[in-house]
Structure 1
Amino acid sequence: MEFSVVEMGYDRGQVDSCLADLAERLARMVAQADVAAGTNEELAGVRVAAAQLRDFLADARSDSHLPSHRMQRLIASAEEEAAGILLRARAELTAAREEARQLRDRVYAEAMQARRDFEAALHARRMRAHQVDEILRTVQVVTVPADQAPAEDGPAGAAPGQPQPDPSWVPDRSTAQV
């Protein structure tokens, strides 16, 4: 940036305009960094430094008696700092996007595995239901008239003289297989 030389230094209006422009650009960069970083604590220090630079630029506007080379160094320093803030914010944003992509991929893979597991369980249940239906098709139900009640000596169809099961016996369900 070049300023017109006047009687005693540079044109104050041009310098003030330049400083205002730099302050505005710095404010936009800080806002972009805030949006990109969200509530990231790492960039809290960067935000403080940017605010200090903004305040420094505001103070520098009122110090028009500074030599031109010092002003140029200050402006260059402010621009470098702003570029650094923007670079760090972009790096944070890139890292956050990568982390989000990895999370999305992992969740998708887990959802697909859950769907495969569900479909396998559903298929197994349908197969069992089909097997039960097949078994039930082969079962014949015989209705016994009431006047042909089973004999006192055992269940219907038991041969006389055979040992009868103990009616108080209960199977042990802890070892039973389903």
Structure 2
Amino acid sequence: MEFSVVEIGYDQKQVDRCLEHLGERLGRLAVRTDAVAKNDPELAQIRAEIDRMSGLLAAPPPSHDTSDRVRQLLLTAEREAAEILARARADLAAAREEARQVRDQVYAEAVQARREFEAALQARRIRAEQVDEILRDVVISRMPRPDADRQDHADPVDEVVPASAS
């Protein structure tokens, strides 16, 4: 931020435009960090700092006869705003990277779970086919009980006989 030097300090219009631009940038950054700040107390603190700086920028601009003390305060506020903005950007980048890593990990876990599910399903299908094949070879026939000669009303007994034995 460089300003043209005029008779009494810097060109007030340039300074006003710069402060307005900084206010807009802080506003855009605040909107972008709101979602991330909800889950991160440090980002919430940074958001509060951005709000405080935005409030400073929203204050009416000083007149041309502003004392050196007020000018120094404005320079300090600008520096602080730039530092806060830089920290917020770094934190936002870190949060985005962390979110990307979490997303990648969750995706990898979901893919692995699907593979394991499909393998288990395939093993179940194979077992079901094996059972069906075994049962295809089994025939159930009704045979009288061995002691049927001794009883008047002997019940037949179900006996499982392999198909090859009949």
Tell me, yes or no, if the aligned pair for 2:23 and 2:58 is still in contact at 8 Å: no
TM-score computed with the length of structure 2 as normaliser? 0.69
In structure 1, the residue matched to 2:54 is 51
1:157 is displaced (CA, Å) by 8.1
Structure 1: 5+ residue stretches without partners: 159-178
3-state secondary structure, aligned to 1:64 = coil
Structure 2: 5+ residue stretches without partners: 38-43, 160-166
Tell me, yes or no, if the aligned pair for 1:50 and 1:82 is still in contact at 8 Å: yes
Deviations 1:25-67 (Å, cap 9, x if unpaired)?
22122113212311522223212321342145x241xx21125
Deviations 1:95-124 (Å, cap 9, x if unpaired)?
221221122122112211211221121111
1:64 matches 2:26: no
CA–CA distance in structure 2, aligned partners of residues 28 and 88 of structure 1:
17
1:41-120 equivalent positions in 2, closer than 5 A: 41-56=44-59, 58-60=60-62, 63-66=63-66, 73-120=72-119
TM-score computed with the length of structure 1 as normaliser? 0.65
Q: 1:3 aligns with which of 5, 20, 44?
A: 5
Shift in CA distance, 10/128, structure 1 to aligned 2, threshold 3 Å: closer
In structure 2, the residue matched to 1:24 is 20
Tell me, yes or no, if the aligned pair for 1:30 and 1:47 is still in contact at 8 Å: yes
Shift in CA distance, 124/4, structure 1 to aligned 2, threshold 3 Å: same
CA RMSD of superposed structures (Å): 3.0
Tell me, yes or no, if the aligned pair for 1:36 and 1:90 is still in contact at 8 Å: no
Tell me, yes or no, if the aligned pair for 2:26 and 2:50 is still in contact at 8 Å: yes
Identical pairs, percent: 40
Tell me, yes or no, if the aligned pair for 2:144 and 2:154 is still in contact at 8 Å: no
1:3 is displaced (CA, Å) by 2.6
Aligned length: 144
Shift in CA distance, 10/107, structure 1 to aligned 2, threshold 3 Å: closer
Which aligned runs of 4 or more in structure 1 are off by greater than 4 angstroms?
69-72
